[in-house]
Structure 1
Amino acid sequence: MANSSYNSHGRRVVSVGRHGMPPMYGDFEAQRHWMELTIHLPISSWYFYDLNWWGLDYPPLTAYHSWLLGKVGSLIDPSWFTLDVSRGIESPLLKVYMRATVVVSEYLVYIPAVVIFLRRYAREQRINIWAASVALVAILMQPATILIDHGHFQYNTVMLGLVVAASESIIAKRRLWACVFFVGALGFKQMALYFAPVIFSYMLGSCFTPKLRLGRLLGISLITITAFALVFAPLIAGAVYDNYRGIPMPNSQPPLFQSLPISLNDSSWLYAPLLLLCQSIHRIFPFARGLFEDKVANMWCAIHTLYKLSRFSSSTLQKASLAATVLSILVPCITIGRYPRPELLLFALANSAWGFFLCSFQVHEKSVLLPLLPMTLLLCGDGGLSKESRAWVGFGNILGAWTLFPLLKREELRVPYFVVTLLWAYLLGLPPTSFDLYRNREGSRDLHIFTKLLHFGCYFIDDCLACL
């Protein structure tokens, strides 16, 4: 009960800040606008409508989620979601409603998934209740997740919760359910692709190791295809229905549609669903936006600071990022495919997500939430609260939250940043609240001198720069 109260109170405190600056108003306005357009426009227009003002660029489950929340919100106050007229609105009651939708979504998906995962993983790893409880609070109070979803404003915990549910299903050897949950994560936010190579390698390895299991392979393939079909089915059906009603499709055609091997005119019944499908894919994977956005702490942004990468063409940068990403995730994918054991899953997921975050194309600063998830889940495993594990997991989380500081500072979330990160550091006994992890004690394994120097150096730089 105390843990639940602490978690919910922390989220409420972070959520009282402002939500972006004009003229675009930030992600609060983006999420509100998607609710607005999904409840007022026909499905065939969702991915086409006014792309210069927070055009919809997430997969269909996010669109359906926005539609549901928009319908509920309109019952309270229709003016919150009046088409076009409501842009930039930030009335107090709207803020309460929008913040409540994040909390409710999190409590329906993320928190149950984490609790169920932790119970199973702790039981598999023979972890006592006290250690599991500490790990649970640490996971639910992750600084970066709270600051982004409840401060900056997004619904990342829905996607992260589905990834956790897929991981728990893998550990429980419910592979078909794992496919359903992971497709759900991909259908909500495309960033779940950071985990896809490891999930694919594990599933494939489990079908061939130690022997070929053709039935399992066919079952996994069929369920995955069916799940994707169900995710896109309302979108496609809506386009067909709008076409039947005589609602014209937008004139713009995405490059993917133009490259189709068949030629269609707008009188064909295939035209509307194929155009909408191609447009949604075009919006979900925006290669035209560039290599990275804002001040993301990855390899390309660091290189660009010293050597301007803008002199290279987009296609060259795409190929370079693809090669770098493949190289960075190759070892964990080969390992988990060759040895598909549940105890290796979190390590492989963390390695893959870090590889994508550091090396892939079109990375947002908020994508750091993905590698931090499996990394933090390691706290609930065997030795998860040891000095070495706490030091590295804590270091990753504090550093990950710090990489978000330019975004948080811009949205006046500096105070919540310091409060949440310091509370989390205190919970795990991390600097600057405690230095016990780095002290030599008899009977306990000491941290390597390189680890101490690296951590202390980064903590010092983090604190100094954040205070400027």
Structure 2
Amino acid sequence: MKMEIVKDYKNDNFHKDEIRKSWFDATLLRIFILATCFKMLLIPTYHSTDFEVHRNWLAITFSLPIKEWYLSNKSQWTLDYPPFFAWFEYFLSQVAVYFDPEMLKIDNLNYTSPNAKLFQRATVMIADIILVYGVIKIGETFCKSRSSYLILSFLSIFNVGLLIVDHIHFQYNGFLLGILLLSITKVAEVDKESSILQGAVWFSMLLNLKHIYIYVAPAYVIWLLRWYCIKGGKFFSRILKLGSIVLIVLILSFGPFVSQLPQVFSRLFPFKRGLVHAYWAANAWALYTGADKFLSVLWKQLGWLQATRTASMTGGLVQEDIFTVLPTPTPIVTFVVTFASMIPALWSLFTKNEAKITPKHFVRCLILCGLSSFMFGWHVHEKAILTAILPLCTLAVVDKQDARVFIILSSAGHTGLLPLLYPTELTPLKLLLSLVYMMLAGIILTHKFHNSLLKKYEWLYVGILPFVTFYESVLHKLIFTDRLPFLPLAFTSMYCAIGVTYCWLLYYYMYLGDRFQNDITMYKKKEENIIKSKKKHYK
């Protein structure tokens, strides 16, 4: 049996040139087609207000002159993404007019028709081609075996978080994350200047499509500064090249809106929205807010609080909040805490020994930056966890420690997204989706590394997650009927926050201690031991 494993490992190795042919690989093609067919089945399902948000953006960019794009407020769903995304909506609108011109009228608020729904759903699926291309390119760089490459393709293309957020709830995260993967791939090739510059272009474009990716920008800055600018011996010329790329992209993006800049920035950074989102993202602030609610009840019982106002943070609304017992964080406090939590990872990446540094260290630093921003950022959306989960897919297929964190983080992170699908009729679907992906990810990665990746208590935590969803969707209503309506959401957020916090701490411990073990090294050691034991046997 052991000899077969080693034999399979040897036969499984393939070169980067062979991976490039994977566009025509039958298995990858089947994964993509199957995923697309499944997404088509989701077209008639529930969609959130984000559907109307993007329909309204189509109408704004189609019906109004450019100078009014960021000024229009006929709908509450004003344009609040960077200019490149506004242009993305504009180009979509040029096609949308052939499907249903009514959807492009600025006064047709909350307009939904079969053709409009089909068009918008289809655009998300078509845009996912960028995600597939990003997976292919990053697989070329990081995957050293065919099995790793195909597992990466499955975990990424069938990522249940993207299925929930993009193809049911409705957004365009897939193609944005595809661009992120492309930029990672390019900047990872530090010995190729042209590749580095292409990566800088991709990431600059990404920031001007959705500004939330600024949270992982520090990882890019440190990586390019230390391992491209300083290492190359051409510091000033290379800094100038990178700076020129960023400046040119910014001019192309914001230049047409120079007269609207104050309005644009007020839309991009709406600090009056409050610390937590409509329901708490599964982060440190969920635990902090939950602690404040518990203490306020306890203080009241003890007579230390005469009265407490209605808890606005349990109303599912987007608004400014004031804590009852604990200090109320401000935007500047969350910014300082977020940046401070990134510093150890950034410092480690900057000071890493040149003989030991690999592109994996950059990706891990990027993941930690994404996790830190999710943990401590202001008004974090629950779907922002995907910024850490998707890049982690890449490393989960090549290192067992990354795989361990991936199983826990993806399980907790995806479970935290499930309350977005609140209609009762979606309960079986969301339970099935999360459970199947969770089980397949655990089984596939455990089989790949021929070892149980999680500790017993970690498996226990993950195993409870489906029951958390069952309580949130079904059991709470049976027990409490209409009472305590926000309790299941708060409980889900806090339980998932425990897992996300654990992953953040565990990954930091592994990263700073450099405790990752490459699977190829592991298999080589196994091979050497098997050969040695066989020689002893024959002797």
User: Which bin holds the TM-score, normalised by the shorter protein?
Assistant: 0.7 to 0.9
List per-residue Cα deviations over 1:288-344 (Å, max 9, x = no partner). Answer: 111121122122232122316614999951122112212221111112223364121
Q: State the AA in 1 paired with 2:115.
A: L
Runs of 4+ in 1 over 6 A off after TM superposition: 312-315
SS of equivalent residue, structure 1 residue 307: helix
List per-residue Cα deviations over 1:410-429 (Å, max 9, x = no partner). Answer: 59643332232233234324
After superposition, residues 286-325 of structure 1 pair within 5 angstroms as 286-295=270-279, 296-307=281-292, 310-311=322-323, 317-325=330-338
Task: Say yes or no: does 1:169 pair with 2:186.
Answer: yes
Task: Say yes or no: does 1:455 pair with 2:459.
Answer: no
**What is aligned with 1:401?**
414
Given that residues 392 and 402 in structure 2 are in contact (C-alpha distance below 8 angstroms), is that contact kept between their aligned partners in structure 1?
no
Q: State the AA in 1 paired with 2:412.
A: L
Q: Could you tell me how far apart the structure 2 residues matched to 1:99 and 1:106 are?
A: 11
Task: Say yes or no: does 1:89 pair with 2:73.
Answer: no
**Any stretches of 5+ residues in structure 2 without a counterpart?**
1-28, 294-320, 476-539
**What is aligned with 2:135?**
114
Relative distance call for 1:412 and 1:31 in structure 2 (3 A) is farther
Task: Say yes or no: does 1:36 pair with 2:59.
Answer: yes
Q: Could you tell me how far apart the structure 1 residues matched to 2:327 and 2:359 are?
A: 38
Given that residues 56 and 283 in structure 1 are in contact (C-alpha distance below 8 angstroms), is that contact kept between their aligned partners in structure 2?
yes
Shift of 1:453: 4.3
**What is aligned with 1:143?**
160
Percent sequence identity over aligned pairs: 24
Q: CA RMSD in A?
A: 2.7
Q: Could you tell me how far apart the structure 1 residues matched to 2:474 and 2:392 are?
A: 27
Greater Rg, structure 1 or structure 2? Answer: 2
Shift of 1:455: 3.4
After superposition, residues 80-229 of structure 1 pair within 5 angstroms as 80-84=103-107, 86-107=108-129, 109-122=130-143, 127-173=144-190, 174-206=195-227, 207-209=229-231, 213-229=235-251
SS of equivalent residue, structure 1 residue 392: helix
SS of equivalent residue, structure 1 residue 404: helix
Relative distance call for 1:55 and 1:105 in structure 2 (3 A) is same
Given that residues 329 and 355 in structure 1 are in contact (C-alpha distance below 8 angstroms), is that contact kept between their aligned partners in structure 2?
yes
TM-score by length of 2: 0.70
Task: Say yes or no: does 1:67 pair with 2:90.
Answer: yes
List per-residue Cα deviations over 1:403-457 (Å, max 9, x = no partner). Answer: 1122211596433322322332343245xxx9x959xx9x846643443444345
Q: Could you tell me how far apart the structure 1 residues matched to 2:103 and 2:453 are?
A: 56
**What is aligned with 1:16?**
44
**What is aligned with 1:331?**
344
Given that residues 18 and 411 in structure 1 are in contact (C-alpha distance below 8 angstroms), is that contact kept between their aligned partners in structure 2?
no
Relative distance call for 1:467 and 1:389 in structure 2 (3 A) is farther
Given that residues 294 and 365 in structure 1 are in contact (C-alpha distance below 8 angstroms), is that contact kept between their aligned partners in structure 2?
no
List per-residue Cα deviations over 1:8-30 (Å, max 9, x = no partner). Answer: 1222223320223xxxxx00000
List per-residue Cα deviations over 1:267-296 (Å, max 9, x = no partner). Answer: xxxxxx34x012111101111111121122
Shift of 1:51: 6.3
Relative distance call for 1:181 and 1:310 in structure 2 (3 A) is same
Q: Could you tell me how far apart the structure 2 residues matched to 1:135 and 1:110 are?
A: 12
Shift of 1:132: 1.3
Q: State the AA in 2 paired with 1:455.
A: V
Task: Say yes or no: does 1:281 pair with 2:281.
Answer: no
**What is aligned with 2:508?**
none
Q: Could you tell me how far apart the structure 1 residues matched to 2:44 and 2:221 are?
A: 40
Q: State the AA in 2 paired with 1:189.
A: K
Q: State the AA in 2 paired with 1:141.
A: F
Q: Could you tell me how far apart the structure 2 residues matched to 1:445 and 1:91 are?
A: 49
Q: Could you tell me how far apart the structure 2 residues matched to 1:82 and 1:13 are?
A: 28
Q: Could you tell me how far apart the structure 2 residues matched to 1:162 and 1:216 are?
A: 23
List per-residue Cα deviations over 1:41-80 (Å, max 9, x = no partner). Answer: 1111111111652011000111111111112111232112
Given that residues 187 and 199 in structure 2 are in contact (C-alpha distance below 8 angstroms), is that contact kept between their aligned partners in structure 1?
yes
**What is aligned with 2:300?**
none
Relative distance call for 1:5 and 1:210 in structure 2 (3 A) is closer
SS of equivalent residue, structure 2 residue 348: helix
Q: Could you tell me how far apart the structure 2 residues matched to 1:411 and 1:73 are?
A: 31
* Aligned positions, number: 408
Does 1 or 2 have the higher relative contact order (CA < 8 Å, sep 6+)? 1
Relative distance call for 1:186 and 1:99 in structure 2 (3 A) is same
Given that residues 223 and 350 in structure 2 are in contact (C-alpha distance below 8 angstroms), is that contact kept between their aligned partners in structure 1?
yes
**What is aligned with 1:231?**
253
**What is aligned with 2:314?**
none
Shift of 1:212: 6.1
**Any stretches of 5+ residues in structure 1 without a counterpart?**
21-25, 237-272
Relative distance call for 1:11 and 1:337 in structure 2 (3 A) is farther
Q: State the AA in 2 paired with 1:218.
A: L
